[in-house]
Amino acid sequence: MQVGSLLGRICALCLGLQVLSTGSLAGAGDAAFFAFDNGVGREQRWSPARQAAVLREMGYSGIGYSGVDDFEERAAAFAAAGLRIYSVYVGLQLDGSPDDGAAIRAALPLLGAAKSDVWLTLRGRGVDDAAAARAVRDLADDAAKHGVRIVLYPHKGFLVATAEEGLRIVRQVGRPNVGVTFNLAHEIAAGNAARLDAVIETCGEHLFLVSINGADPEGGWERVIRPLDEGTVDVRGLVQRLAQRGYAGPVGLQCYAIKGDPETLLRRSMAVWRTWSTAR
């Protein structure tokens, strides 16, 4: 399928089915709730059409994908189902090693048509904030031409490991289409379990995306990334405080390395999310 015809198809379907995409979470306030592809049959090699069908049936608003490979097929499948691809998870390697930069730029027209954010990690040894900001600014200026947002994704062990570290870069970038993520699992991994409210307050208006999951306040990934019906961290309370701080954007369900049947796990987490209708 040619890019031009696909862009037209995606735009038409997104406009015609926008209510379905954002209205599938009746009672959950303004929040759109989507799932990371690592919990939607990625390991089982589900097709995009199957991923979209499962998420639609369960009431999710869409998906967040890893990478921009096969984005045309993915975008068409989700637009046809009335759902959105909220994000694509990609990275910039700022110390000269190969990265995803060229692939991101090539995909920007499609990302803009699908209203998908670039969920961006930053890596590189010996790279200061100014150099990181220049690289992000350069990408953001290209992305702005297509109406695409760049959202820094904090990741343990990377150049940006927390939302507050990302905020330093965002302020130096100085572009309205650049923001940061509140990423529950990686905030806990960084030792911020006791100060999550402070992180939310500090990042405030610069929060473009949120990632949640059931979690305990310490331990390995099997402890800090769990289904929403497990863990001792008050995730509902965090959702409430995000709303009180003015966040009304999408909320993504992190599913990394959670063991079990994907459909069962997705249903369990959605059942919890639906009980949070008063949290917004």
Asked whether residue 249 carries a pLDDT value surpassing 60, the answer given is: yes
In this predicted model, what pLDDT tens digit does every residue of 131-158 receive, in sequence order? 999 999 999 999 999 999 999 999 999 9
**CB-CB contact of 48 with 73 (8 Å):** yes
Asked whether residue 117 carries a pLDDT value surpassing 60, the answer given is: yes
Q: Give the whole-number percent of the chain exceeding pLDDT 70.
A: 88
Show the domains of the chain with their CATH numbers: 3-279 (3.20.20.150)
Q: What pLDDT does 250 receive?
A: 97
Q: What pLDDT does 5 receive?
A: 52
**The model scores a pTM over 0.75:** yes
CA-nearest of 30, 17, 41 to 258 is 41
> What is the DSSP secondary-structure string of 230-271?
S-SS-HHHHHHHHHHTT--S-EEE--TT--S-HHHHHHHHHH
Q: What pLDDT does 28 receive?
A: 39
Work out the angle between the directed axes of helices 262-275 and 48-58 (0-180°, nearest 10): 30
In this predicted model, what pLDDT tens digit does every residue of 60-114 receive, in sequence order? 999 999 999 999 999 999 999 999 999 999 999 998 888 889 999 999 999 999 9
